[in-house]
Structure 1
Amino acid sequence: MRPTFDRPFAITMWDFSWLERRWPGAGYEDWDQVLAELVDRGYDAVRIEAYPHLVAADPYRTWELLPVWNQQSWGAPSIVHVQVLPALLDFLRAAKRHGVAVALSSWFREDRDNTRMAAHTPTDFGQMWLQTLQHIDQADLLDTILYVDFCNEFPLEIWAPWLYADQLLRNAARYDLPAETLLTDVMPGIQSRASDRVVDWMRRSIEVAREVYPDLDYTYSTTTELTTWQSQDVSMLDVLEPHVWLADNDYSDYYKVIGYNYERFSTIGYDNLVRIGRQTYEENREKYDAALFRMIDTVADWSRATGKALYITECWSIVDYKDWPGLEWDWILDITARAVEYAAATGRFVGIATSNFCGPQFVGMWREIEWHQRLTSVIKNSPIDEDLRTRSLDR
């Protein structure tokens, strides 16, 4: 239920890895063990995939999920089979035993039948989430929920393809294109969160859940259009969750310079990162640090202007990284530490992550126990502005 913001949460992101990375050595085979390790590092919250589209379709079915990539260490690099319930409830029970709050989100993982495309209207979409919350409520686990993020990094096509389905069909029909036409040739451009359609989608979908569960915090996480927040209506959101990195934000050209383009099934991007990634940063450290800190200031200004608290669970250094030949962790840890300290001092964050690599599959970061403990102490002892600390009394 809605938390009081006496101090920030030290939060991490376990995305869909918590359920999809359970083969031997993948990191999440034993939830009690990995949650104990998380708490030992000082964390007290985690954001995970809740698979609301699969819960709404058939929560007890075994679903065959397709890989969203094979170059990243989040989730499975190949086909994987999952059953959402009772696994989600079992994970929530384990988190509760360890005193870990859980934020729910969804990356809308693609199954063999592409069930995620069933969300034709905001009401349909809201109903998916409502049904998921009802299962949690019936299991008497609603008190474990920190907040609900209706869609990861909305409205990127990779995570919200259902938002573009109708326009995609119109584009294909308009030009009478053959069946072998590439999807990229007809895919509409990313929709803006300032557009009437996207605002209406956010508002109406959240209303479905809020009507039944008014004491939960709801949001849509974001990573684009952060510098144009003034033009966006976020009145329907209870909290904000922007994702901020040094490598890719409106003030930084880092990925463009090194030649990283989010290649999901090719090593080219990582090859370029190995070749010149660290060197490019170190030769231009002042420039790139300034771009990162400027973006932190930007989202803090957004929070002040709207009166909405900030959570951040994906953040700070490089967007994509992993244990890999030629990729050292020390410079990533250094960037991250400075960013955490800078963000914590703003007084606007009520939940701060150290990184989106804070999981057992990222061995080079996970093993740095004292580093985690130092930063989670910084997070949990950082200030929260008065207007956010009294928020729960005003609603």
Structure 2
Amino acid sequence: MTIARPTGIPDHLPARLTISLWDFSWYTRTQEGEPFADLDVAFDEAVERGYNTVRICAMPFLLFGEHGIDTTALRMVSMGGEVGQRTRWYDADGGATIDGRAHLLELFRAADRHGCSVILSSWEYQQSPAFLEGPEWYEALAAVPADERHSVLAAAMSDLVQFVKDEGLAHRIAYAELHNEVDLSRLNLAGGGSDTDPFWPQRASLDHAVRQVQERHPDIHATWCYGIPPHLDMGAVPDVGQIGHFHLYVYGVLGALERFAGVRDTEGFPSEALRTLLRRDAPPVSQYEGKVEPWRLAATGVSTTMFYTYDWVDTAKWDLWLYEHYGEWREAMMQAIDDRLEVFARWSSGHGVPMVVGEGWVGYTPLLAEFEDGPVGQAIAEHALERCIDLGVWGAVAGSNSAPQHPGWDNVEWQQAWNRRFLAGQIDD
């Protein structure tokens, strides 16, 4: 079965987007020996695996916001010492100094050389400022009044798109998201929202901000991005999005393990259950605390207890627990994928816009854990991708761990096979 190009997608963009999630890693992991030391090599590897699109934090506020920060010599660092070195997305060596705008152009030029598209986003109200040597980026973001953050970010994203246009590279923009996971970032405080009600309170602010970008650049699709989309209340999603961009992490058995071990607990940490999963060389938590500057922890949103868990868990024991308990959760996880994809597809179809799954499928695991990249995790991803094909989804990730900064990048043949199937709209061999 071959699926037609979605209505309204410009002819210069792919009929299907096979997406690799480069997030903020494309500028935090640029030292020699790191995955983005040479962007041409990273794109070579992506194309080899069947990807035609990368999704990035484009740093719009940092590069184009009104804050006075010198972006020509941005020094990127690690979280501090050994902290984060076995935590997914945080195992940066640090030490690189980049010119922000020049680095963005380098990425677009490399994408152009390799025939790839770029989804523009921002992780600035979530994680990316934590990797800068000093707190100025984080402090500038925090200084923006909550009810102005959407609009300020929209203005910066609009200026960034114009910058790319001025360099003759606009044809490489797939579309622009206002921000990654607006419901799970500090943007959700805008308009009187809260962590417990991240959807309706910011709806008007989101609507206005996305329209800002669309009005500045009517030739570039602009939208929002939800981390845990309100599939039971899709009316909370603004109608203005020109792409239905959703994330779908099912957690299921992974959520059960987190609760069993108390991974995100703040009291009585580490629990006795977690102690049974730790490496033998795990240090006491007391020796681990205080190694990350408080502002850096605030900028990333990852707690000391979470870093401790992901850095010091014995991943063989972690994976074994998941395998032993997966049977209890399998049906619920598969049903969650089916139900949510169906809801997202209906919303997108009803609004006459293409649908993209920008992240998925199981959830956040320690860097060296192999459950999601192993046979069970791949089977979950395959089920989700088959449903995406069946529903006519425009773009999808093979998995969020399928990117140069993750060990799952080494599953070359699996990525090639499923990207080919997705591009062909092929459900059955």
Q: TM-score, normalised by structure 1?
A: 0.80
Map 1:61-210; keep pairs closer than 5 Å. 61-64=72-75, 70=84, 71-77=86-92, 81-108=97-124, 109-110=128-129, 111=132, 112-113=135-136, 114=138, 115-120=140-145, 121=148, 122-156=150-184, 159=185, 161=186, 164=189, 188-195=194-201, 198-210=202-214
Q: CA offset at residue 76 of structure 1?
A: 4.9
2:247 is aligned to 243
Which structure 2 residues correspond to residues 9-28 of structure 1 after superposition, within 5 A?
A: 9-28=17-36
Alignment of 1:285-300 (within 5 A): 285-300=330-345
Instruction: Indicate how the Cα distance of structure 1 residues 210 and 118 shifts in structure 2: closer, same or farther if over 3 A, else same.
Output: farther
Whether 1:60 aligns to 2:80 is no
1:49-96 residue CA offsets vs partner (Å, 9 max, x unmatched): 100111124573333557678253325547665431100011000001
Q: State the distance in 1 between where 2:352 and 2:90 align.
A: 35
Letter in 1 for 2:74: W
In structure 1, how many angstroms separate the alpha carbons of the residues matched to 2:323 and 2:187? 37
Q: 1:339 to 1:255 in 2, by over 3 A?
A: farther
Deviation per residue, 1:190-224 (Å, 9 max, x gap):
443222xx122112222322222111111111022
Name the aligned partner's letter for residue 280 of structure 1.
H
Shift of 1:290: 2.3
CA contact (8 A) 1:118 1:162 kept: no
Please tell me whether the aligned partners of residues 18 and 53 of structure 2 are also in contact (alpha carbons under 8 angstroms): yes
How has the CA–CA distance of structure 1 residues 59 and 212 changed in structure 2, closer, same or farther, with 3 Å as cutoff?
A: farther
Q: What is the match of residue 391 of structure 1?
A: none
| CA distance, structure 1, for counterparts of residue 19 and residue 319 of structure 2 | 29
How far is the alpha carbon of 1:232 from its aligned partner? 1.7
The corresponding residue for 1:370 is 413
Checking the alignment, whether the CA contact within 8 Å between 2:310 and 2:365 is kept in structure 1 is no
CA distance in 1, matches of 2:88, 2:424: 31
Shift of 1:366: 1.6
SS at match of 1:314: strand
Alpha-carbon separation, structure 2, partners of 1:128 and 1:374: 38
Aligned-partner Cα distance in 2 for 1:336–1:327: 9
Report the counterpart of residue 173 of structure 1 in structure 2. Answer: none
1:15 positional shift: 0.1
Alignment of 1:316-335 (within 5 A): 316-324=361-369, 329-335=374-380
Report the Cα distance in structure 2 between the residues aligned to 1:300 and 1:136, rounded to whole angstroms.
Answer: 31
CA 265–345 in structure 1, closer or farther in 2 if over 3 Å, else same: same
**Aligned ranges 1:270-289 → 2 under 5 Å:** 270=313, 273-274=318-319, 276-289=321-334
Q: Deviations over 1:104-123 (max 9, x none)?
A: 11110225122222443143
User: Residue 265 of structure 1 corresponds to which residue in structure 2?
Assistant: 307
Q: Among residues 389, 400, 412, which one is paired with 1:356 in the alignment? A: 400
Name the CA distance, whole Å, in 1 between partners of 2:383 and 2:372: 20
The answer as to whether partners of 1:103 and 1:146 remain within 8 angstroms in 2 is yes
Q: Is the 8 A contact 2:359 2:397 kept in 1?
A: yes
Aligned-partner Cα distance in 2 for 1:326–1:253: 14
Does the 8 A contact of 1:106 with 1:152 survive in 2?
yes
- Identical positions, percent: 21
**Residue aligning to 2:222:** 218
Distance 2:263 2:377 in 1: 16
Q: Structure 1 residues 362 and 64, CA, compared in 2 at 3 Å: closer, same or farther?
A: same
The SS at the match of 1:61 is coil
Q: Which residue of 2 aligns with 1:172?
A: none
1:344 to partner: Cα distance = 1.4
Give the drift of 1:150. Answer: 0.9
Quick check: 353-362 or 321-330, which moved more?
321-330
Cα pair 1:46 1:100 within 8 Å, conserved: yes
SS of 1:228's partner is coil
In 1, distance between residues paired with 2:306 and 2:261?
A: 17
Query: In the alignment, residue 123 of structure 2 is paired with which amino acid?
Result: W
Letter in 2 for 1:35: F
Cross-structure match for 1:177? none
Output the CA distance in 2 between the equivalents of 1:7 and 1:321: 34
Letter in 2 for 1:359: A
Q: Which runs of 5+ in 1 are unaligned?
A: 169-187, 384-395
1:129 positional shift: 1.1
| TM-score, normalisation: structure 2 | 0.74
- Residue 198 of structure 2 aligns with an amino acid whose one-letter code is S
Structure 2, unpaired ranges of 5+ = 1-7, 265-301
Distance of 1:163 and 1:295 partners within structure 2: 22
Cα pair 1:49 1:105 within 8 Å, conserved? yes
Whole-angstrom CA distance in 2 between matches of 1:360 and 1:225: 27
| Residue 310 of structure 1: aligned partner | 355
Distance 1:118 1:207, change over 3 A: farther
Give CA-to-partner distance per residue, 1:232-252, whole Å, 9 cap, x none: 242211111111022169xx8
**Residue 293 of structure 2 corresponds to which residue in structure 1?**
none
Match of 2:16 in 1: 8
Aligned counterparts of 1:79 and 1:116: Cα–Cα separation in 2: 22
